[in-house]
Structure 1
Amino acid sequence: MKIRVPATSANLGPGFDSCGIALSMYLCVEVLEDSDSWEIQHTLGAEIPTDETNLLLQIALKLAPTLTPKKLKMTSDIPLARGLGSSSSVIVAGIELANRLGNLNLSEKRKVEIATQIEGHPDNVAPAITGDFVVACHFNERKEDSVPYVKHYFPECDIIAFIPNTELLTSESRSVLPDSFSYKEAVEASAIANVMIAAVLNSNLPLAGQMMQEDRWHERYRGKLVPHLADIRQICREEGAYGCYLSGAGPTILILTPEDKTEKTMKLLHALDSRAQIEQLSIDREGIQVF
């Protein structure tokens, strides 16, 4: 059995902690054979555990404590701590591992609820499970129907990921956010998010991209942690891209662009920072898959 989970990009600018898309980078977990103890084979770095202390197994065994130990193989092309849902992909894979090996028969809705409880918000985990574009919210005080979510088709476009050669932990990125907004500021921020979502649903990418760049919730505060954001926004304006936004907590920046603008935009991004990883991606429409 092989479990495949897509990378995700959260927020889309003003859709803070609510909106996300699934992307064509993947974490894969392959179940190899029974074993005396749990073992994960991987080449992801010495800091990633290979035993039951790995996040994947912590989650799986919390949901299904009596699972028979297995040898597993884990591979991933999702960069760590870059705002592309690397930890969320592991959470979702751990839930699915327990679901399959423990015969839990979890519904998609229940997987989203469990993953959100673990992650704290649904913007990464929901699209990793369902695929495509997802808008969701989390009611902390409710137990029933605590994670309403809607999946919708994200309009076709090219997606470029500008992935800096530096990590940015979510905890650090959240530390610069304000504790409160005025009522007037919150209304404006919410209205921008509403228009962005409506534009996506209407396949109006020029308007959606414009609204992504008008975020009031987080990008203006996190911009100082991501020095290339202003430069990339300028490139987008000059080259006719739909827009760009800080992916999750950063430092990755996602650029949405028409197909005929992609090649030149990528060349300019390479020139901006030769050490950055520049990837052309697409929307993953299916979410988690088991083969």
Structure 2
Amino acid sequence: MTAAAAVAGGLRAADGLAGRSVHVKVPATSANLGPGFDTLGLALAVYDELDVTVLEQPGLEIEVHGVGEGEVPLDASHLVVRAMAHAFARRGYELPPIRLVAHNAIPHGRGLGSSGAAIVAGVMAASGLLEGAESFTADDLLELATELEGHPDNVAPALFGGLTIAWTTPEGPRHKKLIVHRGVAPLVLVPEHEMSTALARSLQPASVPHEDAVFNVSRSALLVAALIQSPELLLQATEDKLHQSYRAEAMPETDRLIKALRAAGHPAVVSGAGPSILVLASDPSERADAVRLVEESADTAWQALPLAVDFKGATAVPQHR
């Protein structure tokens, strides 16, 4: 049942859920990874954590701590609440009264999948609260999240962890999870300024030269091999001609630093829509060298986050009453 059909037919109350509570944990993600535009994504070990409890009486209570505190809405327009309502509606239920307490660590508007994480958190919370009454397969969760996000490249790694290849079919979005080589040492460089995903996408041309498309097909295939088997190929594998150059004018310092990092041998790419930079280093010493280069070259402050790859993905753990 689609959400529209459920609304048209009238949603039923989700009875018997009062007092249920679930703890949700969702990783940050970096999409594209250079050449894998709208297809490849990587889960990273920075997390938003939420506790969602169904209330006895009507109402909606929201607390936000950490990133977004005092900035994100505290009503039904909150993205986690919208995602929960969407998941409930797809199964024919009204969203019950809830209390949501969020502890956020994923930076907003920096190309680390914060909106995808919020959507995944809502879908996972809904599946956890409805456990026993409804079941959600991996494909169900991906479809629900993609319906709200618009594309699966961020929500797939947030849901399932690791390196994901995501694609769409007439039956809905699909994914393949792969385990990243233990020699890959991600580094995320986060600036103080934000970047609008909508603006970044608006800079993309409607078509690209045939030779650029062929170039990216080869690099995308090579990147999968480099990440799971041959990290020494990461510099060549992260070359891109489809999106980063078109977006460069909107984030000039990101573009300049990526060029400097790559000239020094570091596999640096725009993280998602930017403006953060992802360096797919092959060892911790390479990460340290990249941090020093940025500290010496940047015109503004950048936060360096040496991170692990998250292999687990999102979790929803019921809490006892």
TM-score, normalised to structure 2's length?
Answer: 0.83
Aligned twin of 2:77: 53
Q: If you compute each CA radius of gyration, which structure gives the higher value, 1 or 2? A: 2
Aligned twin of 1:276: 302
* Residue number among 278, 284, 300 corresponding to 1:259 in the alignment: 284
Aligned twin of 1:135: 165
Matched to 2:240, the amino acid is D
- What is the CA–CA distance in structure 2 between the aligned matches of 1:107 and 1:217, rounded to whole Å? 33
Q: CA deviation at 1:236?
A: 4.5
Aligned twin of 1:16: 37
Aligned twin of 2:112: 84
Deviations 1:50-100 (A, max 9, x none): 122211111211221434312110111111110000000010011111111
Q: CA deviation at 1:152?
A: 0.5
Matched to 1:31, the amino acid is V
CA RMSD of aligned residues (A): 1.8
Q: Report if the CA contact (8 A) 1:60-1:98 is conserved.
A: yes
Q: Report if the CA contact (8 A) 2:32-2:153 is conserved.
A: yes
Q: CA deviation at 1:32?
A: 4.5
Q: CA deviation at 1:5?
A: 0.4
Q: 1:66 to 1:33 in 2, by over 3 A?
A: closer
- What is the CA–CA distance in structure 1 between the aligned matches of 2:200 and 2:47, rounded to whole Å? 24
* Residue number among 36, 40, 57 corresponding to 2:58 in the alignment: 36
Give % identity: 33
3-state SS, counterpart of residue 105 of structure 1: coil
* Residue number among 155, 160, 170 corresponding to 2:197 in the alignment: 170
Is 1:198 matched up with 2:198? no
Q: Report if the CA contact (8 A) 1:32-1:71 is conserved.
A: yes
Deviations 1:81-124 (A, max 9, x none): 10000000010011111111123310112111221222111110
Aligned twin of 2:7: none
Q: CA deviation at 1:280?
A: 1.0
Is 1:110 matched up with 2:134? no
Matched to 1:16, the amino acid is F
Structure 2 unpaired stretches of 5+: 1-21
* Residue number among 160, 180, 186 corresponding to 2:207 in the alignment: 180
Q: Report if the CA contact (8 A) 2:54-2:96 is conserved.
A: no
Q: CA deviation at 1:279?
A: 1.0
Structure 1 unpaired stretches of 5+: none
3-state SS, counterpart of residue 194 of structure 2: coil
Aligned twin of 2:154: 124
* Residue number among 212, 231, 242 corresponding to 1:217 in the alignment: 242
Q: 1:199 to 1:263 in 2, by over 3 A?
A: closer
Matched to 2:178, the amino acid is H
Q: Report if the CA contact (8 A) 1:67-1:101 is conserved.
A: no
Q: CA deviation at 1:235?
A: 3.2
TM-score, normalised to structure 1's length?
Answer: 0.91
Q: 1:206 to 1:233 in 2, by over 3 A?
A: farther
Q: Report if the CA contact (8 A) 1:22-1:132 is conserved.
A: yes
Aligned twin of 2:97: 69
Is 1:208 matched up with 2:208? no
Matched to 1:235, the amino acid is L
